[in-house]
Amino acid sequence: MNSCTILRSVLLSLNTSWVSNQRRWIRSAPSLYRTAGHTSNTTVHHSEATLGKLRSLNRQFDRRLRSVYQRYADGPDHTVFQGSHHVYIVEGCGIYRMGHTEEEQDMVQVFHTDCAGDVEGTIQRVRLSATESILAATAKNSHKEEAKCVVIRLDNHNAPQKPMLILDNVFSFEWASDDVLVYTTQEGLQCRHVFRLHLTNTGNQSELLYEEKDPEFFVEVSRSRDQRLLTINCSSKKSSEVWLIDSKCPFSPPTQVQPRQPGLLYHVEHSNNLLYILANTGTGHEYQLLRAPLSSPAMQHWKPIFSPGPGAVIKDMEMLQDHCVITGREPQGQLQLQSISLKSPDHGTVLQLPSWACAVETQRIGTVDKDTFSFLLSSPVHPPIRYHLSPAHQRPLSREHAFQHQHTLLTECHTTRLQAASQDGTMVPMTLFHMKALADLSEAPLLVHVYGAYGLDLNMSFSPEKRLLLEDNWTLAYCHVRGGGECGVSWHRAGCLQQKMKGVEDLSACIQTLFQSGVSQPALTALTARSAGAVLAGALCNKNPHLLTAVHLQAPFVDVLGTMQDPSLPLTIEERGEWGDPLTNPQDRDNIASYCPCHNIVPQLYPSMLITAYSGDSRVPLSGVLKYVERLKKAIQTHTSSSSRLPIKGNVPTIMLDLQPGNDHFGPEDFDQSVSETAQQLAFFYTVLGLEYKGSQQKMRGKRKRTIK
């Protein structure tokens, strides 16, 4: 993924929201739970008392998590969408609909994953044809990467219809017309082929429309908001290229917007025969909004119409009939919406959002109101609230009040934005959520979050388990380190390739700044990271283990060097733009070797770790995770084997490996399995940090405090 996918994330499109997870069911696979260690005298051996407490806490958190999830089950989400004649609801493994004037009891099922054959998993994407006569939906098993696309003709029958056809290994798809479907196929983790399917009364004809030759590029299709254009988006870590299909002539060859060139990233929208282009052609190679005629789309015709102010960045855009709505971030990370008149783009209106707002989720399926932009605002501890933006109205921003139960309100919650000075003087933004005043957080347990890769923002959408921790008086800290996308394209580039260690320095500075500001202490601090975020977390544990007491890594990418030296793995070639190529570039190899978590483990006292891995994960090879665990275990054993270095009893680090079946890199889609996994993580944090769990309250046991060295 490259920086352009800040706007339309390819990988995250496979992941689904916490609300939808509750509505899915598949038979839970039994988990294989084991600890890394031996039964002899080793640093990773668990006493029966410790294991007993973990099991007891696990059960308690499992019950409470189910209650917390249920509390927010009726919140707004985008599993409901509008057609021209019906309202559609995605529920579990089915799609239901009812007329606009009908009641919920009139709802009928129009699709179920059973019709896809051996699929027992989840619905990934749904698209209606222009006249709402045909529905296409992808469904996949939870333990497979590839999805099946089922095409069904919609009529007045009150039962799910037999599929017109089923397409295998489909990743993205859009309707060019009522009888033309354009889709990409997925081979492993790569998408390089685009097909055009023509549905006729005499049969269905499919032809290859586009083939990507460069293995570093990923291809997907999307549709402009006004439904006029389909776009074939070709993206690598370093550049992008877009081809257009006009729905007025869906059988014409695709038209290229601008040929790919190193360093150029762009994304295209359309309105009134004009292309609106987000491209990193602004100051410092940041995104700006440009415009060009549909008939002359090449770069020499691009004219800038909006650039963000100093320190601010553009994250996305939505085209309305007469306005463009820009989603951006202010210099300290605050979300911002700005409405720009297409007739007078020099005049923009900044729309005030709640100070707690951290995540925006938009709806892009079904029919679209050309004058209104609907979206959800949330934070890790604030459940989603739906807003409507109509720039032409006197009061353009309105908020729905359907989900205003007392338990969702957090008037006593503080959202604090801080900055930490990194080793080279760069100021790194942080977002904190806490119940007590900042000055009263020295004894509060702290959970630190980090990602810092691929130019992606740290996930800050609503998470019921984070709300649970906040209600238990935890402080939640989100560190927006270099390598991520919170501060723009340059922020990503300042933390990738040869600069990857900058993200580790940023993370260390953030944690130390929190301690110096009176927020928590090392003995009460836990760190959580997933996937590529584990690179920074693991490197920090090698470099400054004394800053942390507990660490949770999920689907962790910890053997960067070993993975990037194996071109047979599905993502190695595609990801060279993020990590480098250690096979052909000695400088890249030395750089990766300098920070790779798996290759820099030394004998010392590490934080206790819970590592959750998935045996069939094709993005993160299990062999690297197992190698990391074994080396950690050996390093801790070596350190503690000397009697002069024996730590105080009770502070010996615990290394736990939770090895789950399947390839759920993004976490289990099955609700029961997801709750069980989260309960285990919370039980681990409370046990290692020495916190007594008392229902909705916790208190610290007597525990030796550590200081920053």
> Which residue in 559, 617, 658, 670 is the catalytic one?
617
Is 568 one of the annotated active-site residues of the chain?
A: no
In the block, tokens 């798996």 appear at 598
Q: Are 223 and 230 in contact (CB under 8 A)?
A: yes
**Phi and psi angles of residue 339, each rounded to the nearest 5 degrees, phi first:** -95, 125
375 touches 363 (CB < 8 A):
yes
Among the options 86, 235, 665, 676, which is catalytic?
665
Cα torsion 233, 175, 377, 674 to 10°: value is -90
The two three-digit tokens of residue 87, written as one number: 């309202």
Angstrom CA distances, 569 to 321, 530, 563, 574, stand at: 45, 20, 7, 10
- With a CB cutoff of 8 Å and minimum separation 6, the contacts of 60 are 683, 693
CB contact burial 220-244 (16+ within 10 A = b; e otherwise):
bbbbbbbbbbbbbbbbbbbbbbbbb
By the 8 A CB rule, do 125 and 135 touch? no
Helices 671-688 and 464-471 meet at what angle, rounded to 10? 30
Spot the catalytic one: 224, 240, 531, 674.
531
For the question of residue 100 being annotated catalytic, the response is no
Residue burial 595-618, b: 16+ Cβ < 10 Å; e: rest:
bbbbbbbeebbbbbbbbbbbeebb
Q: Is 609 helix (H, G, I), strand (E, B) or coil?
A: strand
Q: Quote the CA–CA distance of 258 and 190 in Å, as a whole number.
A: 23
Q: Which amino acid is at 210?
A: Y
Q: How far apart are CA 109 and CA 160, in angstroms?
A: 6
3-state DSSP assignment of residue 110: strand
Q: Tell me if residue 31 is catalytic.
A: no
CA angle 384, 388, 392 (to 5 degrees): 160
Which residue pairs, CB below 8 angstroms and at least 24 apart, start in 251-258?
A: 251/180, 251/196, 251/198, 254/209, 254/210, 255/297, 256/297, 257/297, 257/298, 258/297, 258/298, 258/299
DSSP 571: T
The token pair that represents 610 in the structure block? 């819970």
Catalytic residues: 531, 617, 665
